[in-house]
Structure 1
């Protein structure tokens, strides 16, 4: 990025872009027509209390809202595709910002640069788009991808401490892969969530991919599904790790998916720092492709 362009972004004339006569605080999907920008966001979640937490906490949303306020003297409506937990990272979280339609002349490229100039080093806007339709970052998402990183070995390299779970022993990789394959498909995943206040809605979800891959001392668990329950990714990883430690056999998975009563069940929830929201999908063609692959898997089995 050139210094000249960055300087221009920092010197945006707020009064010229957002005239005070426009009711900026009423940008909604209801009776006021809006202009929507889609942001692809990446962040190191170590020092954030999730996307949205308790009032006064350092959350991704609050820091982004403050940057918007510093730039424009108001905070646009901000909605995200996912509400990541404290300590969880993101490479491709999607959020949208709503502005009144009268401000359609705003250059979305300048918005990305100007916001990044005001954001801390652990949070960045990677892409800013002006969609033709009012796509909702959360409700229009068709699937999400997560990745979880494990580091095996006696010593944890310091540069990996913020982004991987240290497992100081080898794991039974074939057993983990066998268990992961049994999770693919549409199932009731209530055994893979953590109880919260209130009533649990539908716990049926579809996993298009659950794959365990090892390269050297790093194991990566790939998860791709149409949606995830509270801490579902981390509970899946914790279960796979306990299977890799041979505390449970891969055959425990069908029992968990059917809520079969057993004396003991995997209960480990993997720590947050190893999990990254990798990508959010919005195309129906992607969903159809994944559903077709599921049918192929069922046919082969």
Structure 2
């Protein structure tokens, strides 16, 4: 039986999603907690493998257990997980999923928000974990102009840390820059993101915001086939995965086939 988990976490003290020997990771902590509660080994598949220091309020994962195990723990699993998970990880919901559901390959889109402030006082104390204090003033209008030029399907190699065998072609659905007082949010949506892509996009927008490059500069980098060394990677602490989109159950299998096909 396939289970779908809603997962949220404060990534400040975590070394990303993927399990690593000797390191605290979301996957490692969560699999350990699930195995302890369910009393069976659990292996999780996740929608998006976030980096060290990145947060999530809308992460999605799935795992498979027997029907007997699910019947025994269905009504109390969320509460029991709360009792064994560390305070920086939470599972707000666990539901039975369609057999074709795949947290990674069924996803239609991922949505991230990056928060930063250029206010002289820095981030509000209660938001210091997910808001980066930027030391210089930023031109949010120039950042928004630059962001609009990056939309669409492109090879984002200049903004990605390449992984062997992985494509860097992505469809950027939205990249919105909004200022509210001293707070600037960058909302990024795509069918999928490659390694460090969101933080690199934000880093390029910050260069524009500081008026060190014109708004056309980030889009001009799309012609490159290798990572651009002059694109900084924004600090991890400002980035949060907020939502993952999925199709209706009848379209899950077809979506997985499309996602697994390598784009060229």
- What TM-score, normalized by structure 1, do the two folds share? 0.77
- 2: CA distance, partners of 1:128 / 1:72: 13
Among 173, 176, 179, the alignment partner of 2:143 is 176
Match of 2:133 in 1: 166
Using a 3 Å threshold, how does the CA distance of structure 1 residues 260 and 112 change in structure 2: closer, same or farther? Answer: closer
Matched, 1:194 2:161: yes
Corresponding residue to 1:185 among 141, 152, 159: 152
SS at match of 1:117: helix
Q: Deviations over 1:248-281 (max 9, x none)?
A: 10111331112299xx974210010000011111
Structure 1 Cα separation of the partners of residues 146 and 19 of structure 2: 33
Q: Which residue of the other structure, out of 34, 51, 60, is the alignment partner of 1:85?
A: 51
2:21 is the counterpart of 1:55: yes
1:66 and 1:221 map into 2 onto residues whose CA distance is 34
In terms of mean alpha carbon deviation, does 95-104 or 202-211 score higher?
A: 95-104
1:100 and 2:66 aligned? yes
- In structure 1, the residue matched to 2:169 is 204
**What is the count of residue pairs matched by the alignment?**
248
The answer for the alignment partner of 1:239 in structure 2 is 204
The 5 Å alignment of 1:1-301 reads 35-156=1-122, 157-196=124-163, 199=164, 201-259=166-224, 266-283=230-247
- Change beyond 3 A, Cα 1:284–1:192: farther
RMSD of aligned Cα (Å): 2.2
The 1:260–1:252 alpha-carbon spacing in structure 2 relative to 1, beyond 3 Å, is farther
| CA deviations over 1:211-257 (Å, ceiling 9, x no partner) | 00111111000000001111000000000011000011011133111
Contact 2:119 2:183 in 1 (8 A): no
Paired residue secondary structure (1:125): strand
Give deviations 1:119-175, integer Å, cap 9, x for gaps.
111110112111233411111111100000011122223333211111123211111
* Structure 1, unaligned runs of 5 or more: 1-34, 288-301
Aligned partners of 2:151, 2:161: CA distance in 1, in Å?
A: 20
* CA–CA separation in structure 1 for the residues paired with 2:152 and 2:91: 33
Give the secondary structure class of the aligned counterpart of 2:15. Answer: coil
Q: CA–CA distance in 2 between the matches of 1:180 and 1:68?
A: 40
Question: Displacement of 1:57 after TM fit?
Answer: 0.8
Work out whether residues 17 and 26 of structure 2, in 8 Å CA contact, stay in contact via their aligned partners in 1.
Answer: yes
Unmatched tracts of structure 2, length 5 or more: 252-264
| Structure 2 residue aligned with 1:3 | none
Whether the aligned pair in 1 keeps the contact of 2:158 and 2:225 (CA below 8 Å) is no
- 8 Å contact kept, 1:142–1:284: no
d(CA) in 1 for partners of 2:64, 2:248: 24
Contact 2:116/2:131 (<8 A) preserved: yes
Aligned partners of 1:155 and 1:168 also within 8 Å: no
Q: Summarize the Cα distance change of 1:200–1:77 in structure 2 as closer, same or farther, 3 Å threshold.
A: closer
Larger radius of gyration: 1
